[in-house]
Amino acid sequence: MTTDSWILDMDAGPIFEQIGRNVRQQLARGDLRPGDKLPSARDLATTLSVNPNTIVHAYGELEAQGIIEKRRGLGTFVREDAPVKTMRQNMLKEIVETFVNEVRRLGVDDEEAMAVLKEAWDAG
Amino acid sequence: MKRFGTLFWLEYRHSWIWSVALLGSLAFWAWGIKQVRVMDVAERLGIRAGLLAVACAIGAVVLCLMIGRIRAETRNGQYQVLLLTPPSGYAHIGARYLYAAATAFAYFITIGFLYWWIMALAGIHLDPTTLVELILAVPFYAISVSVLPLLAWTLLLMVFISAYRISGPGWIPGTVMLLGTPFAFRWLVNGILRITYTLPGWRLFANAPAALIERFGSPDPETALQVDNIIYNGVPIEPLLIMLALTVVLLAVAGRIWQEVEA
Amino acid sequence: MLARLENVTKRYRTTEGVRDLSLDFPAGQIVGVLGLNGSGKSTMLKLIAGLLFPTAGAVTVFGGSPRGHRSRTVFLGETDTLWPWMTPADASRFMEGLYSDFEPVRFNELLDALEVPRRKTKAMSKGERGRLRLAMVLARSAQLYLLDEPLAGIDLISREKIMTSLVREWHTDETILLSTHEVAEAEGLFERAVYLRDGRLALDVPAETLRQEGKSVVQTFKEVLA
């Protein structure tokens, strides 16, 4: 877990939401796995220079969503039963929706878009 | 007590160079004394005593300068740091004053020693009682009626000047104090003179005439009688008590003002 | 309520520092005090610290007079400086002797974390001096911290160190009022943003609420104060 995995944009909505999204993204990508330990609220706040209460809020939300849990005396962990698959699917949907919207705004027709997509996919 | 000690330590760290310079300067005066090479013993003694008197005056001035450095502190923001500390203005002023007073005592007691020295050089042998009076009692009396109140007055003046910078021109109370001092001083002196010797005087130097006679021979009867009279009366206690009381009052006012100002 | 201003006006000889300012500061908040030069940020903090007296209105700290609660309050100003001959060891002696809540061990840890050199302050750079003064106040266990431009004129690395230390040392029942021009850097710290303009309150809002509307504290700064 590196600091660059936590990038915050002050113009992009509440910090606590960004933190939540970040955790979900990391889980979806496999950078974070069920059972992994998360930094304490205080440590994460210190790393990001962010109000600890904001991190507590973020962790609270993630806990309510069943993604993380606090184990007394040990710290905060990703739940073993965290819905990683669902998160990956949601993230995939988000990426695809963004792609589709951007392409539509560009005014390109579906065939051309799919062709370019296949080309990029094969190249990568 | 720990807090007062810390304030005293701060003042010591802040001003120790002044104290060392002052006391060290006495070496210069001692050298100067040795340089006096007038033939006549009495004249030589007189000149040397005069030199030491000048050293006393200069010492008083330097002490006032040392204690009056509050203005620089105000400019540099250290006043703000001190104002935010828990101790009261009385503690801050008290610690600063105590350091200056301690330096004053050290300085003037050393001058007492120097007076002993120049007398010894002139061949006057003083007995132990007179020595203690010369080295301890006289400096104590002399600075209690002059230097100690003067230092308190200087401190109060500087507190006035630095205190009212924000909420009003600081120089107004300071100027009022300066202008008013000659009148207040004259009133004070008159008052003291009126009550002098209502209390028994403090007898000093009872054995001094004998030592002088031993060295210089007997003076004429009239002078001897006058000297006896003076010694019998002793030095007046009232000025000592009043000036010490005045010192305390000035310090209390300074302490009160110091903590009530904006910074 | 740790600090409260009720219709406070502070008049200087030629200007007014703050006008009819009313604000409440409860425990446990980190508040950004934001505004242009001359907007009254310093004046407000000094009023709460008890360094200035209001011309009108009332300033209450811990339910009483600001001066009366010096031992529970920390004020770090722009112009308060230490003595040039002081070393960090001297500063520790000074603080320990005057404040019962000062912890020398924590002070030394903070000195290391902030990389303050063990020299006389006259041989330190402005950034080093700023970090030393911050270490001095963070090693205390006060409840109300009034930090007036603690990042001003300080190099970037020092600013980052200072903010990291602030976050790390803050306890959830303490209140920090931090005025700064480096709004972008410090934005994440603030739970609440108080904007002052010409001595008056322009806006008082939770930071996350602003961001909910898609605006950063910085963005709002430009809108409210331009």
Q: What is the pLDDT of residues B27-64, one digit of tens each?
A: 999 999 988 888 888 888 889 999 999 999 999 999 99
Q: Residue B165 has what pLDDT?
A: 64
Question: Which residues 147-206 of C have a C-beta within 8 angstroms of B?
Answer: none
Does the distance separating the beta carbons of C164 and A13 come in below 8 Å?
A: no
Band the pLDDT of B75: cuts 50, 70, 90.
low
Indicate contact of C with B: 3+ CB pairs under 8 A. yes
Specify the pLDDT at position C95.
96
- On whether the CB atoms of residues B89 and B258 are closer than 8 A, the answer is yes
Q: What percentage of chain B reaches a pLDDT higher than 70?
A: 94
* Burial profile A82-99: b = 16 or more Cβ within 10 angstroms, e = fewer: bbbeebbeebeeeeeeee
Minimum CA–CA partner of A11 in chain C = C216
Q: Is A7 on the interface with C (CB under 8 A)?
A: no
Q: Give the integer Cα–Cα distance in Å for B83 and B98.
A: 19
DSSP line for chain B: -HHHHHHHHHHHHHHHHHHHHHHHHHHHHHHHHHH---SSHHHHHHHHHHHHHHHHHHHHHHHHHHHTTHHHHHHHTHHHHHHTSSS-HHHHHHHHHHHHHHHHHHHHHHHHHHHHHHHHHTT----HHHHHIIIIIHHHHHHHHTHHHHHHHHHHHHHHHHHTTTTS-THHHHHHHHHHHHHHHHHHHHHHHHHTTSSPPB---TTHHHHHHHHH----HHHHHHHHHHHHH-B-HHHHHHHHHHHHHHHHHHHHHHHTS--
Q: Which of C163, C172, C208 sits opposite A16 (nearest CB)?
A: C208
Would you give the distance in Å from CA C48 to the centre of its chain?
A: 11
SS (H, E, C) chain A: CCHHHCCCCCCCCCHHHHHHHHHHHHHHHCCCCCCCEECCHHHHHHHHCCCHHHHHHHHHHHHHCCCEEEECCCEEEECCCCCHHHHHHHHHHHHHHHHHHHHHHHCCCHHHHHHHHHHHHHHC
pLDDT at site B170:
60
Mean pLDDT of chain A: 88
Interface of A with C in 54-83 (CB under 8 A): 54, 57
| Token pair listed for B209 | 């005439």
Residues in contact with C106: Cβ distance below 8 Å, sequence separation at least 6, in sequence order: C138, C139
pLDDT of residue B210: 79
Residue A105, CA atoms < 13 Å, CB-side half-sphere: 6
Contact B247, B104 (CB under 8 A): no
Per-residue pLDDT tens listing for chain C (226 residues): 899 999 999 988 778 889 999 999 999 999 999 999 889 999 999 999 999 999 999 999 999 999 989 999 999 988 778 999 999 999 999 999 999 999 999 999 999 988 899 999 999 988 888 889 999 999 999 999 999 998 887 888 888 888 899 999 999 999 999 998 888 888 999 999 999 999 999 999 999 999 998 889 998 998 888 7
pLDDT averaged over every residue in chain C: 91
Q: Which 9-38 residues of chain A touch chain C by CB within 8 A?
A: 10-16
Q: Kindly indicate the confidence band of residue A45, based on its pLDDT and cuts at 50, 70 and 90.
A: very high
> Residue range B101-111: average pLDDT?
96
pLDDT band at A9 (very low <50, low <70, confident <90, very high): confident
pLDDT > 60? residue B167: no
Provide the pLDDT confidence category of residue B76 given band limits of 50, 70 and 90: low
- CA nearest to B160, candidates B12, B260, B15, B11: B260
**What's the pLDDT at B153?**
93
B26-30 long-range contacts (CB < 8 A, ≥24 apart) are: B26/B55, B26/B107, B26/B110, B26/B111, B26/B114, B29/B55, B29/B114, B30/B114, B30/B117
Do C181 and C147 contact (CB within 8 A), yes or no? no
Within 8 A by CB and 6+ apart from A14, the residues are C208, C211, C212
Given CB atoms, is A8 within the 8 Å cutoff of chain C? yes
Question: What amino acid is encoded at B134 in this protein?
Answer: L
Q: Which pTM does this prediction carry? A: 0.86
pLDDT score of A76 more than 80: yes
Distance CA C130, CA C81 (A): 9
Per-residue pLDDT for B164 more than 80? no
- Mean pLDDT for B176-203 is 84
pLDDT at residue B193 in the model: 84
Mean pLDDT over A103-115 rounds to: 86
Mean pLDDT of chain B: 87
Name every residue in B having a CB less than 8 A away from some CB of C.
2-3, 5-7, 9-10, 13-14, 76-78, 80-81, 83-87, 166-167, 259, 262-263
pLDDT bracket for residue B178 (50, 70, 90): confident
- What is the total residue count of chain A? 124
Instruction: List subunits contacting chain A, requiring 3 or more Cβ pairs under 8 Å.
Output: C
Select from A46, A48, A54 the Cβ nearest to the Cβ of C208.
A54
| Percentage of residues in chain B having pLDDT higher than 90 | 44
Q: Where is pLDDT greater, at C92 or B200? A: C92
**What integer pLDDT is reported at residue B110 of this predicted model?**
95
Of these ranges, A6-10, B231-235, C79-83, C92-96, the one predicted with the greatest mean pLDDT is C92-96
Contacts of A120 (CB under 8 A, 6+ apart): none
Chain B residue at shortest CA distance from C75: B84
Query: Which tokens belong to B138?
Result: 């006289």
Q: With CB atoms and an 8 Å threshold, state whether A46 touches C168.
A: yes
Interchain proximity C94–B6, CB inside 8 Å: yes
Predicted local distance difference test score (pLDDT) of residue C8: 95
The token pair that represents B42 in the structure block: 């009495």
Q: Is the pLDDT of residue A107 over 90?
A: no
ipTM of the complex as predicted: 0.89
- How far is the C-alpha of A29 from the C-alpha of A12, rounded, in Å? 21
For residue C155, the model assigns a pLDDT of 82
pLDDT > 70 fraction of chain C, expressed in percent and rounded: 100
Surface of C (71-100) touching A: CB under 8 A? none
Evaluate if residue B163 carries a pLDDT over 80. Answer: no
Which two three-digit tokens encode residue C218?
């910085």
Predicted local confidence at residue C107, as pLDDT: 96
Q: Decide if B166 and C52 are in contact by the 8 Å CB cutoff.
A: yes
Domains and CATH numbers, chain C: 3-225 (3.40.50.300)
What is the reported pLDDT for B141?
92
* Total beta-carbon pairs less than 8 A apart between chain B and chain C: 61
Mutate to test the interface with C, among A10, A11, A42, A56 (most CBs of C within 10 A): A10
b/e per residue C13-31 (b: at least 16 CB within 10 A): eeebbbbebebebeebbbb
At residue B160, the pLDDT reads 83
Q: How far apart are CA C55 and CA A16, in angstroms?
A: 41
User: Hey, are the CB atoms on C51 and B83 less than 8 Å from each other?
Assistant: yes
